[in-house]
Amino acid sequence: MMDYKNKIIYQIWPRSFQDSNHDGIGDLKGILRRLDHLQDLGVDLIWLSPVYCSPNTDYGYDISDYYNIHPDFGTMADFDALLTECKKRGMGIVMDLVANHTSDQHPWFQACLNDPNSPYRDCYYFREGINDKEPNNWISMFGGSAWTKDPLKPRSWYLTTFTPHQCDLNWENPRVREEIANVMRFWLDKGVSGFRMDVINTIAKQPGLPSWHPEKKGYQFAKEFMTNLPQSHAYIQELIGKLSNDYDFITIGEGMMADNDACALYAGEQRGELNMMIMFDLHLQDCGPLGKYDFRKLYHWTIPGFKSIIFRWQTDSQKRNYWVANYMNNHDQPRSISRFGNDRQYRVESAKAFALMNLTLRGTPLVYQGEEIGMTNCHLEQDEWRDYEAINIYGTLQTMMHLPKFIAKKVVQRMTRDHARTPVQWDDSDYAGFSDHQPWIKVNPNYKQINLKSDLVSETSINRWYKQAIALRKAYSAFNTGAMKPVLVHHKQILAYQRSDEQAEFLILINLSGSPARFDLKTEDRILMDSYTDPQPQLLRPYEARLIQIR
């Protein structure tokens, strides 16, 4: 079995990584040009956000052809060349597999729209409406009804729990399950190292698709009927069981609203399901129960709350023997140093603090493009938005939540996925070295100051910090399979914990605040890393991060 616990996984959003053919869109040849940077960083696996053929309603998460590359990104020959060059550098590729839904442009769904008796209709959820309305009251994840009108049958609808162009697959149909296995076989035969499984905990739906709290008015979020149903585990076990005897590969599950109990099942080491699950709680701590655009908490979070989430997941996964994928940035979230740190006065310190945390916690670290140079959120006016979710939610916040336009705009500007999707800032040339053509999305204006080129010449840069932390993680098994023990649990500013095994023991201290923090740990052990050049005993300055070797 692949050693998934001891890997550094780097996520690439290809559209914004590197353009090679002068069209303002990142592509596979562009990624190939930057492989030396990833190798130098210490990356083992590259997780590619979807590069399949897609109409791009949701930028690749609406797949129309799972067996071919979108022309924006190049050709299959380009993919094969990228895979070959990765292997030469000791790296592998993890494909992003969307198995809950296809695009409405997928041949299967197009057959459904062309023939009311097509056998492919049972590969999706076509249902008769009730009283000229939808079959149930479910709301979609992006706002509005989870159902879209069937053009062939006036009283029929089909289930679209994300965008109206992403049609939910009916996993009860064996043909669906076999086709997903075939897709995985195709890419594994090419030599990829595994899959990140998009919203894998939504593949099973409540039998009968009943309404959620039908006594309530309007659309309702049917969380219990569309996430973490028991049948999803049977589907995953069947899928992995079909492939695991013939291939050695890694699986990273994304589980929307998957709590500790759910993840203990999906990623339990003896369950025969997934190697690890991505945890959402840290990034939803300042949101209401409906997700990141639920503004009822006013996006307020606390350091004790932040710490409690970290410690709960760390101790529970250790106790119950399941594995998590840790991250501070990805394609769906605003930049972490803008959200949880200070991207102005303490940008470098914030970036280093979150990096040390992510790279020393129990679990496999995911690093997202640009975080290794401390990229920040980008102010985007409404005409600069590119994210379907943001554009759709802007309207939903007004119609369903009755927000004034200016408040809806502020909510979207704060939480849009576009923050994570601005081009990677390679240097201070036009368009940040991403392209010599105007990019598909705005370049963050701070690229003149924040870019890899300037980081490479600085002895105290964020990029050097990442390389050092990654090297230490790989050098000591304590950071991978070692025990995790919380320390200073009730401290109001400092996140502290120990990682240890028979080989070595370490203490990690991170000030999560913008104020100096004192601590009462009398130790004279060796400081291996500190984000300030002159560490002080029993004192951490704003966002200071310290790694100490105890033995």
Q: Span 9-100+174-379+445-468: which CATH code?
A: 3.20.20.80
Active-site hit among 150, 254, 371, 418: 254
Nearest to 531 by CA among 520, 542, 522, 516: 542
Active-site hit among 19, 96, 104, 198: 198
| 132 CB neighbour count, 10 Å cutoff | 7
pLDDT confidence of residue 193:
98
More confident residue, 84 or 520: 84
Nearest-angstrom CA–CA distance, 166 and 92: 29
pLDDT bucket at 291, cuts 50 / 70 / 90: confident
Q: Span 483-549: which CATH code?
A: 2.60.40.1180
Average pLDDT, the chain: 96
Burial 460-483 (b: 16+ CB within 10 A, else e): ebbbebbebbbebbbebbbbbebe
Q: How far is CA 443 from CA 6, 170, 333, 431, 446, in A?
A: 34, 40, 17, 6, 8
Residue 78 a catalytic site member = no
Nearest-angstrom CA–CA distance, 373 and 352: 10
Please report, for the chain, the start and end positions of each structural domain, with discontinuous segments joined by +. 9-100+174-379+445-468, 107-167, 483-549
Q: What are phi and psi of 128, to 5 degrees?
A: -75, 140
- Report the predicted TM-score, pTM, of the whole model to 2 decimal places: 0.96
Chain centroid offset of residue 91 CA: 20
pLDDT confidence of residue 26:
98
Do 41 and 466 form a contact (C-beta atoms < 8 A)?
yes
Chain centroid offset of residue 79 CA: 22
pLDDT tens-digit map of 313-353: 999 999 999 999 999 999 999 999 999 999 999 999 999 99
More confident residue, 244 or 400: 244
Q: 3.90.1150.10, 3.90.400.10, 1.10.3720.10, 3.40.50.300: which CATH number matches 107-167?
A: 3.90.400.10
Q: Is the pLDDT of residue 256 over 90?
A: no
pLDDT tens-digit map of 11-36: 999 999 999 999 999 999 999 999 99
Nearest-angstrom CA–CA distance, 58 and 56: 5
pLDDT confidence of residue 524:
67
Do 313 and 283 form a contact (C-beta atoms < 8 A)?
no
pLDDT mean over 510-538:
92
Tokens of 176: 């669906």
Do 479 and 503 form a contact (C-beta atoms < 8 A)?
no
Nearest to 168 by CA among 94, 236, 258, 108: 108
Residue 172 a catalytic site member = no
Rg (CA), the chain: 23
pLDDT bucket at 100, cuts 50 / 70 / 90: very high
Do 197 and 123 form a contact (C-beta atoms < 8 A)?
no
Which residue type sits at 145?
A: S
